[in-house]
Amino acid sequence: MREQYNKLVVYDIEHNPFLANRAFDAELMRQYPGASAITALAARLSTEGVSMVTADVFLNESLMAKRAVVLSNEVTPFTRRLLFERGLRGAACVSGESPIIAWGFYRDLPETSSWYDHVVLFPGARALATGKAEFHDFYWPYPDLTPCTPQPWEQRSLLAIVSGNKRAFGWPRPAFDLAHPKVSAGRWYRSAQARMAQRQHPWMQSELYLERLAAIRHFGGASGFDLYGRGWEQATSGADRATQTAINRSYRGEIPPHDKVETLGNYKFSLCFENTAFPGYITEKIFDCLVAGTIPVYLGAPDISEYVPPDAYIDFRGFSNYASLESHLRGMNALEAERHLVAAREFLGSEQAQAFTQARYVEQLTNLLLTSLERQ
């Protein structure tokens, strides 16, 4: 006998580790930045008598519910079946991904934003989401903004960067996998599509992955610089010989997500470059730094100062080149650094920072979903 729910939220996501209701496994979700918010959301909805399942479970098990709505993480292969075949109400569509990665989703927003009551997206997407959905600004749901106690300033190394070895518009590695020709051809086709879209859409013009490579090339031979992240032991798309040498010299391995903040606390500064420059596109990267007590060197959202006080970080745009940045970082004494660190701690304890908390995000989504359930 099929299970009958009273009120149900179907979480529409296609990322394989999240399927089969694994999105509600708190320990597993800790491995993915921002994903703990979904586990917390499911727990919060349960207090309102609302259950939550992933889309594959709902469709494969043909679940029934008196009232059911869809919460989509972008648009997935499940979305049309849920909304148009099963007739569920599109409550909300959210995305914490950058437009240069989820470019197909951003491209289609004029149409798909009409499928939902609400969309929760980075502010720069407001002009793209022209459908009937009510627009809400997406703020990164950081689990805990409590500042940590870092190493004393004089005992720290100079600079770290934590980033995966990936590109938005790079060609696949290896060039072509003869052992898996269909898979390889598909990767090349998607890369070609992304490059074509980059030429067509102004919001795809900024790719900061290459800026990270430039930073690694400059600092890679310097003392006190360490590189962390996944995949740097492999060849890097877009890296010349000097850059690859700098990567090999400075790479210290991958950091488990739960160790990232502690590791950053061993450094005076951290290069904090987002994937792209897009209004309001502010991810966990800067909050990891602020909580760790390391001073972020930030490049990303052009309007960052509207969200985070300028004294809490160093704006990379204020330097003409990496040599001048390095001179500034090496010349900063403990007293000057404390001004930045105090500003960061004050910000983390402020009402302004609460917008970037997991708790605030969960309450926002809970209210939106409950409203849509009442309309169903």
Ranges of H-type helices in 230-333: 241-250, 260-264, 284-292, 322-331
pLDDT at 324 over 80: yes
pLDDT computed for residue 185 by the predictor? 64
Cis peptide preceding 302, ω within 30 of 0: no
What is the value of pTM for the model shown? 0.92
User: pLDDT tens, 240-276?
Assistant: 999 999 999 999 999 988 899 999 999 999 999 999 9
Question: Across-strand partners of 157?
Answer: 267
Task: Tell me the pLDDT of the chain averaged across its residues.
Answer: 92
pLDDT at 11 over 60: yes
User: pLDDT tens, 119-176?
Assistant: 999 999 999 999 999 999 999 999 999 999 999 999 999 999 999 998 766 655 555 5
Within 10 angstroms of residue 84's Cβ, the number of other Cβ atoms is 11
pLDDT computed for residue 77 by the predictor? 97
Q: Quick one: tokens of 124?
A: 């720069």
Ranges of H-type helices in 220-376: 241-250, 260-264, 284-292, 322-331, 334-348, 351-354, 358-375
pLDDT computed for residue 179 by the predictor? 59
User: pLDDT tens, 94-125?
Assistant: 999 999 999 999 999 999 999 999 999 999 99
pLDDT computed for residue 221 by the predictor? 80
User: pLDDT tens, 199-230?
Assistant: 778 878 888 999 999 999 999 988 999 999 99
How would you class 75 by CB atoms within 10 Å of its CB: exposed for 0-12, middle for 13-18, buried for 19 or more? buried
pLDDT computed for residue 265 by the predictor? 96
- Determine the Cα–Cα distance for residues 365 and 91; give it in Å rounded to an integer: 10
E strand intervals along 208-304: 225-228, 267-273, 295-299
pLDDT computed for residue 189 by the predictor? 59
Within 10 angstroms of residue 252's Cβ, the number of other Cβ atoms is 14
pLDDT computed for residue 236 by the predictor? 84
Q: Could you tell me which residues come within 8 angstroms of residue 40 by beta carbon, excluding any fewer than 6 positions away?
A: 358, 359, 362
